[in-house]
Chains A and B, each alone.
Chain A
């Protein structure tokens, strides 16, 4: 999963987002938070 590679050829916005670690870190933390909430409730 690359964080920076400006020399990549143009690709779709969805592919750019899905290979961006800045997306996956908050998404994973959100999922973990929801699981934690379910566990402690």
Chain B
């Protein structure tokens, strides 16, 4: 039975109110993450010349690397990152693992799209949300004693979103499958398994109290290291350098895509922290919907297509929104929250992390006696260095010829900024970005 608020103590009522507030925050973060992750595709659409997909991925990861160090430095300062790492140094290993998983999964998706096309590949790797729900249940007590309605909401919502994503992928696909279709199926399934498993390190870090801004700064070393190793291994250092020099005019757009992607990913991390991976992953998977909106409205991608295609887009979008609604209405109850706390205490005891720190961070607060995050000269230096690198590549960039519709681009950009402002403000007011 859920606790009866009429007979609860004021502390219990305050706790319940805090949990509700954090759940709402997590849902808003998941939704904002989807919008920004989808928008990250926009700059990459400017790149239409024949550059190897591995090179495209590598350059985007360089932009990601710049953002993953400069944004945390700007928001809280690196002193906060150092303090988190001193408390839970073991999590560096999980951050590196997660980064490596991301890089391999991303490369697999490139091969999957090449071999079987987006329409088949996307639904296969989108299964990551179902695997995330399984890992969340198995390892981190998510959906324990949640009741059949919430199970139905989360599982049903994720399944409906998969169906919607499939319809959207069919509508937006323009590529014919190649002769290596079985390889493509394996690649897409593999990417889904890797991405679904990547959320184990995420959830472990956040149940241990680590700030998402701290986790991503180490995650990115795994990401860049693995992506560089794959690029050097598959292309070779000298040919890679040659390709980069040849393509210097477009590198900025790819790095910008990576930078925007990080903003979305940061919100995704906060969603994983406050609503768990079983709800956070499906919510941020709405990025496909936003990516398609940019493609159709700004880049005119479906121009001249049949009515059937437009019907598929509308139907797929409605299905995705229905799935999002089902998951958003299936927030964790008091009993499930108690199981999350038990998983959190288990991590604290196992790795000797202060119970006060873990409990406070679980509630989205600073622990008693914890120093307030402060920015130093190093932080401003990091921000200046990242901005300078982007400016150098911006100066080299050339704007390709393409069809671009300014009015919808401005509306979508305004929507993104509004979501960034609203979600950022709520994060600050509720958790001070913890």
A contacts, CB < 8 Å to B: 3-6, 10, 13, 16-17, 20-23, 25-27, 29-30, 32-34, 36-37, 39-41
Contact A17 B183 (CB under 8 A): no
Q: Interface residue tally of chain B, by bracket?
A: 35 or more
B contacts, CB < 8 Å to A: 89-90, 93-94, 97-98, 100-101, 104-105, 107-108, 111, 115, 135, 139, 180, 183, 186-187, 190, 193-194, 197-198, 200-201, 204, 230, 234, 345-346, 349-352
Contact A29 B194 (CB under 8 A): yes
Majority secondary structure of chain B interface residues (helix, strand, loop or mixed): helix
Contact A4 B198 (CB under 8 A): no
Contact B349 A6 (CB under 8 A): yes
**Given A29-B194, A36-B187, are A6 and B104 neighbors across the interface (CB < 8 Å)?**
no
A30 to B111, CA, bound (A): 17
Majority secondary structure of chain A interface residues (helix, strand, loop or mixed): helix
**Given A23-B94, A40-B183, are A33 and B108 neighbors across the interface (CB < 8 Å)?**
yes
Q: Which A residues lie within 8 Å of B200 (CB)?
A: 22, 25-26
Contact A6 B346 (CB under 8 A): yes
Q: Which A residues lie within 8 Å of B201 (CB)?
A: 22, 26
**Given A16-B350, A33-B194, are A26 and B101 neighbors across the interface (CB < 8 Å)?**
yes
**Given A26-B200, A30-B100, are A6 and B350 neighbors across the interface (CB < 8 Å)?**
yes
Contact B350 A34 (CB under 8 A): no
Within the complex, which residue of A6, A21, A30, A41 is in contact with B97, where a contact is CB–CB below 8 Å? Answer: A30
